[in-house]
Structure 1
Amino acid sequence: MDLIDIFQRLGLAVAIGAAVGVERHWRERDEPEGARIAGIRTFTLIGMTGGLAGLLDGALMPGGFSGLVLASFLIMIALVMLRFGLMEARAEGSFSATTVIASIATFGLGALAVLGDMAVASAGGAFMVTVLASREFLHGAIRRLTWVELRSAVVLLAMSFVLLPLIPAAPYGPFGGVSPRSLMMLVIMLASISYVGYVVVRLIGGGQGDLIAGAVGGIVSSTATTLAMARQSRVGTGAASAAAGAVAAGGVSLVRTGVLLAGLAPAIAGVLLPGLLIGGGVMAAAALLFVRRGGLGSEVAAPANPFELSEVIKMALLITVIAFLARASAEIFGNGGLYVVSALSALADVDAATVTVTGMVPQLTSDVATRAIGIAVIANMCAKILYAAAAGSPAFSLRVAIASLAAMLAGVLVTFGAGLL
């Protein structure tokens, strides 16, 4: 590395140490001088020491002993911090090892900034400062954690990182088949949406929690979020707040589709984007209205279980079957059945139809492609009305239907004005 690169890397090591030191010093800012184990100066020097150790290791030990200097410095830093940590623990009667561990991690990140990937070192430093600064929040969350919540989190993690890698990804069956791994990913996504909604409801209250969880879920899949919110309306959360979440997801989905079109097919986006944005605005207004009518400050009882795995699997199977039927229809009808395929594929989610049709734009006229995507959007919104009626409470499904129909009407009127038909 050249001289400029060395200074940049060493500067990052110093900056990481300073950032950690600011947090540590601020937490003990009321302590008199000499009463804290390490503050901004000490951690800045630890970060710089990690960087210097990396430079010395590369310069002095280029052969088979590479890492010896780095390890020696690390052992010395650890012993010194451990010594002062024990002295502080005896004086204050505490048993926290956070500062000692943070100093070792700061040294390691300083060395990584010099010897390895600067982006990884920077991200690691930012994450460490965030964790250190979140002590009160994390301790409070652990105190409020129940066994049901912990069990659900463990099941979700096991599904994501233990079971998912073992499931084959190759599709099985005719018409392109069904991928078991894709099916499991859909199950995990549905369960995650339910769990996030549950946690948000616990943290910030029923109405607001469902609204935020629905908006976030709409970025991933508004159909899955609608199904999750529909089930939630039956098992605990009030119909108004659950409907607000589902409608918010639908509004985000419309805006997301417009952004996707703008990136993939600007010519089509010019016709459909105004209607999509108007429809998304109508659904956003309806979601806020539902939250207000449902009682913004009221506490709504959370469901007994963050997610019912059997129900999640049933939802995933339903969406998978619909997607399979859409692929079969595409192969049977060919290009002439584009509208039918768009409508059928949108029963699961509108993204598949959007990406497929925009990819066919060179072979399709602009009007045909625009109508196909418009049909997909309307079919998806109609499907979510049916899903809400089938899986949710009557009050929930009525609110979703009113908001969706109003958004469709507004969007179609604006699109007609843009000259779609």
Structure 2
Amino acid sequence: MDLIDVFQRLGLAIAIGAAIGVERHWRERDEPEGARIAGIRTFTLIGMTGGIGGLLDQGMTPSGLSGLIIASFLIVIAMVLLRFGLMEARAEGSFSATTVISGITTFGLGVLAVAGDMSVASAAGAATVTILASREFLHAAIRRLTWIELRSAVVLLAMGFVLLPLIPADPYGPFGGVSPRSLVILVIMLASISYVGYVAVRLIGGGRGDLVAGAVGGLVSSTATTLAMARQSQNTAVAAGPAAGAIAAGSISLFRTALLLLALAPALGWRLLPGLLVAGGIMLAGAMTAIARADTASEADLPGNPFELSQVIKMAVLITVIAFIARAASQIFGDGGLYVVSALTALADVDAATVTLAGMLPALSLDVALIAVGIAVTANMVAKVVYAAVAGSRGFSLRLAAASALAVAGGLIVTFAAGHV
């Protein structure tokens, strides 16, 4: 590497050490001089030492002994930090090893900045500072964490890092087959969105508020959320609150459909994006109007944990069956059969139909996929209005029907005006 590159890399190593040192120094800023084992100066020097160790190792280590100088530096720094860390622990009666581990991490990032990828070193340094600065938040979150939430997180991690690498990627079966790995990835993605929404409600305050609960429920299933809100509307004198939750769930569902299409089939997603955004915006405005008219604020129950193993298996089986039926209908009955299947599958929820249609591109015509997704979205919104009329109060169903009708009309007008259909 040339001299400019050397200075850039060494400068990054120093900057990483300084950034971590600022956080460590700020946390113990009220301590007198000499009462902390490492502050901004020490961590800056540790980062620079890592960078120098990386330079020396590259320029002076004989062939076959790569890493010897870095390892020597690391052992010395770890011993020094450990000694002073033990002294501080005895003096304060604490058992924290964070500063010692942070120092070792800073050294490693300094080495990486000089001898490895600068982008990775920068990102890891920022992540380290974020983790250190989030102590209070993380500790409070752990104190509020329940066993079922922890178990669900473990299941999600196991699915992503243990199960997924073992799942074959090649499609199986007739009509183009179904890729097991794609289905597992979809399950993990939807489960992750659900878990994030669940945690958000917990942090906001246990899921209070129909509007918040409906929006979070829309991340999981707007249809299920609508049914839950419909049942709730029968038990309250004010239907505007549950209606706001159901309408918010529909709005989030439309936005989520747009994001899924952009991620899985960008060409289709960009063509439907204006109409979906307008429809979702109309629903969101309807939710805000409904909640503003509510005389009293009702308390929404926290959504159920979405990561019971049985629920994950049912989701995988449902998506597999829908994918097979959609592909078979498309090849056997042509475009008309695909439209019927899209409408029928959307009676339960729109995600499976949307993802399946996106996965059928480019074998499927883009115009046909656009119409099929439009049918699925519209059928799902109509179905939710019917469910609301059957299970909910009159005021609830009327508010949802009005918002849904305006959203469908607005989305279609925008799509036609843009010349996409």
For the pair 1:251 / 2:254, whether they are aligned, the reply is yes
Give per-residue Cα distances to partners, 1:82-133, cap 9 Å, x unaligned. Answer: 1111121122221111000000000000001111111111111111101000
What is the DSSP-based 3-state SS (H/G/I as helix, E as strand, rest coil) of the residue aligned with 1:70? helix
For the pair 1:27 / 2:40, whether they are aligned, the reply is no
Does the 8 Å contact 1:197/1:210 carry over to 2? no
Going from structure 1 to structure 2, the CA distance change for 1:165 and 1:230 (only over 3 Å counts) comes to farther
The equivalent residue for 1:169 is: 169
Going from structure 1 to structure 2, the CA distance change for 1:418 and 1:111 (only over 3 Å counts) comes to closer
TM-score (normalizing by structure 2): 0.81
Distance in 1 between residues matched to 2:232 and 2:309, nearest whole Å: 16
The equivalent residue for 2:354 is: 350
Q: Identify the range of structure 1 (393-402 vs 84-93) with the bigger mean alpha-carbon deviation.
A: 393-402
Give per-residue Cα distances to partners, 1:198-252, cap 9 Å, x unaligned. Answer: 211111132464466467x4xxxxxx54356458769999955752552232331
Distance in 1 between residues matched to 2:230 and 2:302, nearest whole Å: 11
Distance in 1 between residues matched to 2:388 and 2:194, nearest whole Å: 14
Does the 8 Å contact 1:385/1:400 carry over to 2? no
Distance in 2 between residues matched to 1:402 and 1:245, nearest whole Å: 13
TM alignment of 1:303-322, pairs within 5 A? 303=303, 305-322=305-322
The equivalent residue for 1:280 is: 280
Q: Identify the range of structure 1 (405-414 vs 3-12) with the bigger mean alpha-carbon deviation.
A: 405-414
The equivalent residue for 1:379 is: 376
The equivalent residue for 1:98 is: 98
Distance in 1 between residues matched to 2:414 and 2:333, nearest whole Å: 31
The equivalent residue for 1:226 is: 222
Does the 8 Å contact 2:261/2:358 carry over to 1? no
The equivalent residue for 1:408 is: 408
Amino acid aligned to 2:165: P
Residue ranges of structure 2 left out of the alignment (5+ in a row): 234-240
Residue ranges of structure 1 left out of the alignment (5+ in a row): 218-223
Amino acid aligned to 1:386: A
Distance in 1 between residues matched to 2:102 and 2:26, nearest whole Å: 15
Going from structure 1 to structure 2, the CA distance change for 1:130 and 1:244 (only over 3 Å counts) comes to farther
The equivalent residue for 1:220 is: none
Going from structure 1 to structure 2, the CA distance change for 1:71 and 1:359 (only over 3 Å counts) comes to same
Distance in 2 between residues matched to 1:192 and 1:318, nearest whole Å: 18
Going from structure 1 to structure 2, the CA distance change for 1:251 and 1:290 (only over 3 Å counts) comes to farther
| Percentage identity across paired residues of the two chains | 61
Deviation at 1:152, TM superposition (A): 1.8
Distance in 2 between residues matched to 1:264 and 1:16, nearest whole Å: 41
Does the 8 Å contact 2:323/2:356 carry over to 1? no
Does the 8 Å contact 2:261/2:355 carry over to 1? no
Does the 8 Å contact 1:251/1:279 carry over to 2? yes
The equivalent residue for 1:221 is: none
What is the DSSP-based 3-state SS (H/G/I as helix, E as strand, rest coil) of the residue aligned with 1:31? coil
TM-score (normalizing by structure 1): 0.81
Going from structure 1 to structure 2, the CA distance change for 1:294 and 1:161 (only over 3 Å counts) comes to farther
Does the 8 Å contact 1:322/1:344 carry over to 2? no
Q: Identify the range of structure 1 (161-170 vs 198-207) with the bigger mean alpha-carbon deviation.
A: 161-170
Distance in 1 between residues matched to 2:335 and 2:372, nearest whole Å: 15
- Supply the RMSD in Å over aligned alpha carbons: 3.9
Distance in 1 between residues matched to 2:281 and 2:11, nearest whole Å: 46
Distance in 1 between residues matched to 2:14 and 2:408, nearest whole Å: 55
**Match for residue 264 of structure 1 among 267, 272, 282:** 267
Deviation at 1:193, TM superposition (A): 3.4
Give per-residue Cα distances to partners, 1:286-329, cap 9 Å, x unaligned. Answer: 34345556799765332464444323433443333222222112
Going from structure 1 to structure 2, the CA distance change for 1:341 and 1:67 (only over 3 Å counts) comes to same
Does the 8 Å contact 1:191/1:309 carry over to 2? no
Going from structure 1 to structure 2, the CA distance change for 1:262 and 1:167 (only over 3 Å counts) comes to closer
